Amino acid sequence: MGKSALDKPLHDRFGVRSAECYTSTEAGIATGSPYGEWRLGSCGQAHHERFEAGVVDELDRQVGPGEPGELVLRPKQPSIITSGYYGAPEATAHCFRNLWFHTGDRVWRDADGYFYFLDRMKDAIRRRGENISAFDLECEVNLHPAVVECAAVGVPSELEEEDVKLFVVAHPGSGLEAAELLEFCQKRLPRHMVPRYLEFLDELPRTATDKVAKHLLPRGGAR
């Protein structure tokens, strides 16, 4: 399905075209659909005049089409990417290892060079030998009509690896109960992604840039 078919309702109503892209504070817009055709779910191709982009495994080896890995970037122009993290030389060296900037984002790339975002690597949850995308889990839970937003994290398991804990902000007065939400999850998610623990909060903690501050969520006393 091409871009014209997918964004036609938006164009008809507002007179604008849609575009998907990958962007970060350190690199700005590195990939996007304006650099190729619009593909559903893709954040587009690399901005070929500005960046070289790749996908690598945990040993920094390039992986093939369809294989998940970390998105890495290499600028083709001067001064278009961060020169480092202030007062943190070790973090700078780690992110720029092997002459690539490591984004910390897990993606995959198709045979035509279109990138597809999976999740933040630090947000991945390892449970019973399975890698769980917190991003995918949260997207599904957010479809519940009584859920305002949610955040999934990994908490220590007494067996091995991690269990899934879900923090949920419900619409005031919705009366959403844990049992109802768990049933919703069981119907929509693979078994290994269904949260073991649920906790309702009035709001999720935020960073200065309004992102969910998962490191501030209480991991102890899972219930």
Contact 119, 135 (CB under 8 A): yes
pTM of the model: 0.72
3-state helix, strand, coil in the chain (%, to 5): 25, 30, 45
What SS3 state is found at 62? strand
**What H or E segment, with its residue span, contains residue 21?**
strand 21-24
> Mind listing the domains of the chain with CATH numbers?
3-119 (2.30.38.10), 124-216 (3.30.300.30)
E-strand ranges in 33-111 read 45-46, 51-56, 69-75, 101-109
List b or e across 40-72, with b for residues whose CB sees 16 or more CB atoms inside 10 angstroms.
Answer: eebbbbbbeebbebbbbeeeeeeeeeeebbbbb
Tens of pLDDT, residue by residue, the chain (223 residues): 334 445 667 778 888 777 889 999 999 999 998 777 778 789 999 998 999 999 999 999 999 999 999 999 999 999 999 999 999 999 999 999 999 999 999 999 999 999 999 888 888 888 888 888 898 899 999 999 999 999 999 998 887 789 999 999 999 999 999 999 999 999 999 999 999 999 999 999 998 888 899 989 987 655 5
